[in-house]
Amino acid sequence: MGRVWGRAMLSAIADLGRKYLPHRPHGSAVDVAITHCRDLLSSRGEASSAALAREIIDIYGHMSPVERTAFFERVASAFGPDSEAVAVAAKEFISTRAPVDYRRLVLAAEPPTQELFRRLNTAPGAIRTIVKMREHLLGLLPDHPNLVPIDDDLKHLFHSWFNPGFLEFERIDWRTSATVLEKLIEYELVHEIASWNDLRRRLGEDRRCFAFFHPVLPDEPLIFVEVALMRGLPDAIGPLLEAPTPVPASAADTAVFYSINNCQRGLVGISFGNFLIKQVVDTLSAELTGISTFATLSPVPGFRQWIDGIIHEPRSALVSSSERQELSNLAWQADELRRPALEALLLNLCAHYLLEARRHGHAADPVARFHLGNGASIERVLAGADLSDKGIRQSAGIMVNYLYRTEDIVANHEAYVHDTRIAASASVKRLLARRRGHRAAK
């Protein structure tokens, strides 16, 4: 009721403010939108600001990709920080070191674009469009690096607007609204949901699905996690997804996170997953006292690309020439004779990739970075765990069990964040030792 009333109130304020708007200027959609943006930043009335914001949001919603690019280019040039004012304020603060002058410097350095987006957010339902704006903007950045400051401003605002303290944690089941259930099918990118029957299976009694929602986006999950209640750790994704004989929830001892999906591309870089996993662990621990193990069955999405790099780098000492030739053809999932020998090589290389490969000082694999940063340890590396086309293409068929052992989570997190030390089981370390020993023997 509160959500509905709040949206209705904002809409009513915007309606009242329409009569205070200037006549719509002539020109292209981009020209009109930029003129309205200037008026919005100079507006003092709440009703007129809300009406202007709604007008801009509506215009943007009808822009073509070319017009959106032109709009962001104009925003970047028209609403950047006042460099002269920043220089004066900085000089004054350097001279006085006074708190009041520091405050003046902070205010001068804040680009008008941040205030522009804040005011745009006063329009009813605007946050949905502003998130979509950033999604569009992210697609432009590779060819338009001058737009990076706008992305920085949006990310800065989103860290406040989507603070975990504002989010609502909900369980999704078959009784959840059809609108949300349709979104699960749309947003599931890890393991595609093939049909409504498939979705119903994933929401069965031996499964759990949890999501974070924002109060002003009640039908839009921001992130969701799918959990299987099992006995013991799973070895492969196929049997887990099918589970012809489900384990009763009361008999399960293991909760397996097998799919985590960030739903809004416009919120890339805004972290929700670590909070979601911690909340799920707490919720399941309270609901099902028989659950003693929390783990994942995760892909290794960067592994195949890393292997390709080794194949095309003849000087790499990680593999021999004969191994390089073997790795050059990974269309082996149907070849039962070749698979065991090649999987042994892949397991050793994957252990090296997970434990030693780095990107900007952290684990090279994005899924590994996520779970290790949350305090998990690498428990098992599983060959042939996902022989789907996608599993072979991304992970060479390998999956990983990351283990969330409650008594070790904090220590693992601190070790990884501060020293990039990766917690791993003895069996995973042995895989790495085998690769080192093989290379030394060569």
Residue of 48, 298, 377, 395 with catalytic role: 298
Q: Give CA–CA dist 329/307, Å, rounded.
A: 11
Q: Give CA–CA dist 302/333, Å, rounded.
A: 19
Q: Give CA–CA dist 178/219, Å, rounded.
A: 10
Tokens at residue 386, please? 């996902």
Q: Give CA–CA dist 350/344, Å, rounded.
A: 10
Could you give the maximum distance between any two Cα atoms of the chain, in Å?
A: 82
Tokens at residue 148, please? 């990076």
Nearby residues of 101 by Cβ (< 8 Å), 6 or more positions away: 89, 92, 93, 95
Q: Give CA–CA dist 24/244, Å, rounded.
A: 62
Comparing CA positions, the residue from 57, 41, 51 lying closest to residue 10 is 51
Comparing CA positions, the residue from 115, 280, 121 lying closest to residue 216 is 121
Read off the DSSP letter of residue 388: S
H or E element: which one contains 256?
A: strand 254-262
In the numeric block, the tokens 């944690």 are attached to 169
Please state, in angstroms and as integers, the Cα–Cα distance from residue 99 to each residue in 94, 102, 110, 301, following that order: 11, 5, 17, 48
Q: Give CA–CA dist 240/261, Å, rounded.
A: 18
Q: How far is CA 421 from the centre of its chain?
A: 23
Active site residue 371: yes
3-state class (DSSP) for residue 227: strand
Residue of 36, 48, 371, 395 with catalytic role: 371
Helical H segments across 288-338, by residue range: 303-311, 321-327
Residues tagged active-site: 298, 371
